[in-house]
Structure 1
Amino acid sequence: MKLMTGVAMFALMAAYATNASAADLGGDCCADLEERVAELEATTARKGNRKVSLEVYGQVTTAVMWWDDGFEDNVYVVDPQTSNTRFGFRGKAAINSDLEAGYNIELAWQTADATKVREDNDEGEDVPEFRQAHWYIKSNTWGKVRVGFADTANSGIAEIDLSNASVADGMSSSQAGHDIIFLDMGGPNLDNFEFNRRNVVRYDTPTYAGFVLSAAWGEDDMWDVALRYAGELRGFKIAAGIAYGENTDTSNGGSGVADPVIEVVNGGLSIMHMPTGLFVTTSAGQRDRDNWDTEEWFWFVSSGLERKWFTIGATTLFGMGGEYEDDDEATAHYWGLGAVQKIDAAAMDLYISYRHYELDGGVNGLADPNQDTFDTVVGGARIKF
């Protein structure tokens, strides 16, 4: 009996001690936890309010570029113009069931712009560039209005591409080595005639049967309109667009000439057969400088196959060609080949492309009058975050 009494008393004392210790530990633990949480809140980056969302996004794109202009050849590490290195912030907030408001700020940083490298400059430009800085209001019923530094209506209209080929060698990447062809070799000014991004007010209609109509006005002197379509038909995916714009801004090469009116018509079309992955992409444009009575033209076509032969991601193989011509009788014909390999698990694209240019006319100031060809190979990667 005495033994049982002693065991019971020992058990009670042990339970009391355990509870007391747990209570003490709990108090110390919570105090320490609250202190750590307060410290983290004080040192963690956070957005200004909880009403508007915040998303950080971006990509890094770098490559190795070899070029040969018939007079000199070099190898540079570059940031391609096709899809350059950038980061941004965007967010939105619901006003009601139909309306939302949002914003977008995006900055590009090219450590060596592939369009600016030349025989005497292996760095290109090394400057930040704002790509977006605007707010918007969007209605599911009435469409979207954005105000600020944003894409004009024709921005991207000549770069429509349903395949992944544009990562390596799309319409915009025709500018790789631009300054060598244009300044050193006296070739035409290679671009796709888009107004790109400006300080504008832009309106986009809601999507009706796959169509969206856009219009933009800004900087007092420019306006443009564009019609885009995206849809599927009998196993084919289709994306297309056409745009018209005018610009009388003297910064467009007017050199002080009064009202140097520039008129632009350009557009693009891309079709992919979804069961096989076969695709074709094309674009074209015309630019008139009315006061100078000059015209420029371009056309571009790319075709190939996009299939998922490897588990890591889809592979894109393509060939392409095109032409630029201006009233100075300078014409650039070009053709090329390329490949892109997606790595889905890393949101990454590995790419390589080759282009060959032949210039007719426009050979002012060449060190060698026979310097009328240009070759370039660009290989690298893009990773998104």
Structure 2
Amino acid sequence: MRLPATALLIVLTLLLPALSQAQPIIVDPQVLQQLQETIRQQQQQLQLQAEQIAIQARTLQALQQQVQSMQQTAASPEAVRAAAAPPPLPSPAPVLSSGNDKIKLSLSGQINRAVNITNDGGSTKLYPVDNDASNSRIRLVGTARISDDLTLGTRLELSIAPDESSVVSQNNQAPGDYFNQRWAEVSLASKRFGKLSLGKGDTASNTTAEADLSRTNVVQYAGISDISGGMRFTYKTGGYIPYPGSTDSKDKTLKVSDVFKSGDGLSRQSRLRYDTPTWNGFRLAGSLISNQQSDIALYWGGEGYGFKAEGAVAVANPKITNAGLLYDGSFSLLHSASGLNLTLAGAILDKEATEDRTNLYVKLGWLTTPVSLGSTAFGVDYTRSEHAARAGDRAWSVGAAMVQAFEKWATEVYFQYRIYALDRADGSAPVANINVGTFGARVKF
């Protein structure tokens, strides 16, 4: 049996006096050192155990406090309801992935359907349409990071729009499905040097007449003919108005889109486009386009002193017979606190032998949030378009719109009432106004 070091020390202490009387004691220094080391280790162990006991006491006290807090919370009505609620559903697994793991792929799009109730001066009819102010579409965007500065991009976007509002007319109420390749491009973007785009997409001048901060532009913006561009004007005495220059090969009569043209650049075409980096809110863009067309544009956007603003101007060469350059621009200003906003847009097409084609657009708006569902936007606008279908034509339009956003569901519900009017200078019979009431919804995904 091995005695503890303390007991051994006591025994030695008692025996040493007696032994000292009998004979001299010789103490081994090594043994004494071992005894001292053993005592030191046991003292350290006792100190460590004391510290552990103190830590356990504090932990036990904290656990007791948590139990008391949980008992109080469990007794509340909110906790009872939470306990009775079903567990949250797990997040769905991604359903879309790229066929190439080096490309990040995203899918998005929208559905934008509307109903137009239209009076052409002779009759009133209902027309279900796909809203061409922002038609239904689907897009695939792929990106790949080449370096900290360079990003490779791709974009494929298709319009899928049954019964376009710009085509539906009195004589063609269901023109059928519309499929169009809006975008098919590859791009290379650099933070330092800008962006180069190759393929079909926005030309540099596209959207330069459409700067708009009102949030009514899902149905109300400078392109006022988009929502009912196919509707035919009629004489007040009856009958449609002949128009040999109509783009409709089957119906050579005058329609809304022949008379109202926003002049918004060169739209989307196959092009080579370059955009500079943004500097103090400014950005330049230029493109070389099919059929030897070209354009250049300047964009700007900024915020300060309680206002938000954006604008753009462009010059384009549309290569139109007997016409020169197309100039257009727009500007929109929003007062952030009140929601009041102003939008202006205009365009001039230089014609060689006749009056220049002009378009002027102005809108006053109010953006507010009276309910928690999302923003509510109101707008009233006026458009003046001259010499569009032929020299001497003067047309005007007024409209009022409301757009209610439901942000939780990425949905907008909108209403608009619009009047299209045309005066002709050739002494022909008066033209009847076209009145259009619109109700629709856009859902983004």
Q: Do Structure 1 and Structure 2 share a fold, with TM-score over 0.5?
A: yes
Tell me by how many angstroms 1:118 deviates: 1.4
Q: How does 1:197-346 map to 2 (within 5 A)?
A: 197-248=268-319, 252=320, 254=321, 260-290=322-352, 292-326=353-387, 327-346=390-409
- The runs of at least 4 consecutive aligned structure 1 residues that moved more than 6 Å come to 362-365
SS where residue 309 of structure 1 aligns? strand
Contact residue 214 and residue 379 of structure 2 kept, 8 A: no
What is the alpha-carbon root mean square deviation over aligned residues? Answer: 2.1
Deviations 1:61-92 (A, max 9, x none): 00010111112321110011111100010021
Code of the residue aligned with 2:105 in structure 1: it is L
Deviations 1:122-173 (A, max 9, x none): 0145220111100000000000000000101110111111121111211124
Code of the residue aligned with 1:86 in structure 2: it is R
Task: Establish whether residue 190 from structure 1 lines up as the match of residue 250 from structure 2.
Answer: no
Code of the residue aligned with 1:383 in structure 2: it is V
SS where residue 230 of structure 2 aligns? helix
Tell me by how many angstroms 1:47 deviates: 2.0
Identity %: 28
Alpha-carbon spacing, 1:275–1:264, altered in 2? closer, same or farther (3 Å)? same
Contact residue 65 and residue 378 of structure 1 kept, 8 A: yes
Aligned-partner Cα distance in 2 for 1:293–1:217 = 28
Deviates further, 264-273 or 168-177 = 168-177
Aligned-partner Cα distance in 2 for 1:115–1:362 = 26
Q: Which residue of 2 aligns with 1:140?
A: 191
Aligned-partner Cα distance in 2 for 1:173–1:325 = 14
Q: How does 1:102-117 map to 2 (within 5 A)?
A: 102-117=153-168
SS where residue 148 of structure 2 aligns? coil
Aligned-partner Cα distance in 1 for 2:227–2:128 = 12
Aligned-partner Cα distance in 2 for 1:178–1:328 = 20
Aligned-partner Cα distance in 2 for 1:240–1:350 = 26
Tell me by how many angstroms 1:261 deviates: 4.7
Task: Establish whether residue 54 from structure 1 lines up as the match of residue 105 from structure 2.
Answer: yes
Q: Which residue of 1 aligns with 2:177?
A: 126
Aligned-partner Cα distance in 2 for 1:289–1:181 = 25
Code of the residue aligned with 1:302 in structure 2: it is K
Deviations 1:195-219 (A, max 9, x none): 1101100110000000010101111
SS where residue 345 of structure 1 aligns? helix
Contact residue 283 and residue 300 of structure 1 kept, 8 A: yes
Deviates further, 174-183 or 113-122 = 174-183
Contact residue 320 and residue 337 of structure 1 kept, 8 A: yes
Task: Establish whether residue 352 from structure 1 lines up as the match of residue 412 from structure 2.
Answer: no
Contact residue 116 and residue 125 of structure 1 kept, 8 A: no
Code of the residue aligned with 1:87 in structure 2: it is I
Q: Which residue of 2 aligns with 1:384?
A: 444
Tell me by how many angstroms 1:176 deviates: 2.6
SS where residue 264 of structure 1 aligns? strand
Larger Rg: 2
Code of the residue aligned with 2:335 in structure 1: it is H
Tell me by how many angstroms 1:329 deviates: 1.2
Aligned-partner Cα distance in 2 for 1:337–1:127 = 28
Aligned-partner Cα distance in 2 for 1:338–1:99 = 42
Aligned-partner Cα distance in 1 for 2:436–2:127 = 11
Contact residue 89 and residue 105 of structure 1 kept, 8 A: yes
Aligned-partner Cα distance in 1 for 2:324–2:183 = 24
Aligned-partner Cα distance in 1 for 2:444–2:427 = 42
Code of the residue aligned with 2:339 in structure 1: it is G
Contact residue 153 and residue 216 of structure 1 kept, 8 A: yes
Aligned-partner Cα distance in 2 for 1:262–1:384 = 39
Q: Which residue of 2 aligns with 1:96?
A: 147
Contact residue 362 and residue 383 of structure 2 kept, 8 A: yes
SS where residue 283 of structure 1 aligns? strand
TM-score (norm 1): 0.81
SS where residue 180 of structure 1 aligns? coil
Aligned-partner Cα distance in 1 for 2:441–2:324 = 36
Deviations 1:327-358 (A, max 9, x none): 52112111111100000110000000011122
Residue of structure 2 aligned with 1:180, choices 231, 234, 238: 231
Aligned-partner Cα distance in 2 for 1:110–1:80 = 8
Question: What stretches of structure 2 of length at least 5 have no aligned partner?
Answer: 1-94, 235-239, 242-253
Contact residue 182 and residue 190 of structure 1 kept, 8 A: no
Tell me by how many angstroms 1:103 deviates: 0.5
Contact residue 330 and residue 345 of structure 2 kept, 8 A: yes
Alpha-carbon spacing, 1:301–1:181, altered in 2? closer, same or farther (3 Å)? farther
Q: Which residue of 1 aligns with 2:53?
A: none
Contact residue 237 and residue 271 of structure 1 kept, 8 A: yes
